[in-house]
Amino acid sequence: MFQKCLPLLGALVFAGPASAVTVNMSDFTFGEPATVNMVGTDGAPSYDGSAGQFSGGLDSGAAAMASLRLDIADAASATSFVAWCAELTQSFSFGVSYEYTMVSGASHFGAPTATNLSRLFTAAQGFVVDKYTSAAMQAGIWEIIYEHGPSFSLTGGTFKGAPDVPAGQGAFDTINGFLMNLAAYNADARIDVLENDLHQDFLVATIPEPETWMLFGLGLGVVGLLRRRRRA
């Protein structure tokens, strides 16, 4: 099954040089997906079809991904994940393995776009719970990636979007509220991308748990203390 648009490698954090992994996406996370109608102007692409979060796994590269996680419990937990469509111009097939390169969101999109994507994921924590909220979240991601205007909105500008059925409108309204007020949210989520020149790229978002940030901060504090002692 080919997918033109496709989700958040749960709790993975990529850092350092690019790393190669072999990815196999299995399906949309919430089963039969909702459909959306995205209309682009001024060079932005248009799309009408299925949208939402994907679930997948790794055929190889699990050890590399596990070593980059902040909160890993065991290496096996790094072999399954979810992700989002990072582009509308290429496709892939479910159940087929592809080799991807992991890079930072800032490297792939540029720092401003990566920051805005981070704000969206920070704002939408806990929002994605079914196929409608999943489709709306994907539309919000595309809005940030493809909008050419000075502000974000699914109802205006050079890139617009709407659900194909009324049942999804409430979810779209919520995401649009996040988009129109992105500056009010912190950029707490780390954004990374799985790149493939021939097939669709996947966006990966990670928001560390509060205790992870605390441990990270304690680690930085210890490093600072050791440096001060060495200087003394």
**Residue 122 exposure: Cα atoms within 13 Å on the Cβ side:** 18
Q: What is the largest CA-CA distance in the chain?
A: 67
pLDDT of residue 8: 34
Rounded to a whole number of angstroms, the distance between the first and last alpha carbons of the chain is: 64
Closest CA to 153 of 166, 138, 143: 143
Under 8 Å between Cβ of 57 and 26: yes
Q: Quick one: pLDDT at residue 102?
A: 86
Length of the chain: 232
Q: Which helix (H) or strand (E) holds 106?
A: helix 105-109
Phi/psi zone of residue 196: left (φ > 0), alpha (ψ -120 to 50 degrees), beta? Answer: beta
What sign does the dihedral 88-51-4-61 (CA atoms) show?
Answer: positive
Looking at residue 215, its pLDDT comes to 43
| pTM metric for this prediction | 0.81
- Angle formed at CA 22 by CA 19 and CA 27, multiple of 5 degrees: 125
pLDDT digits (tens, 9 = 90+) for 157-188: 999 999 999 999 999 999 999 999 999 999 99
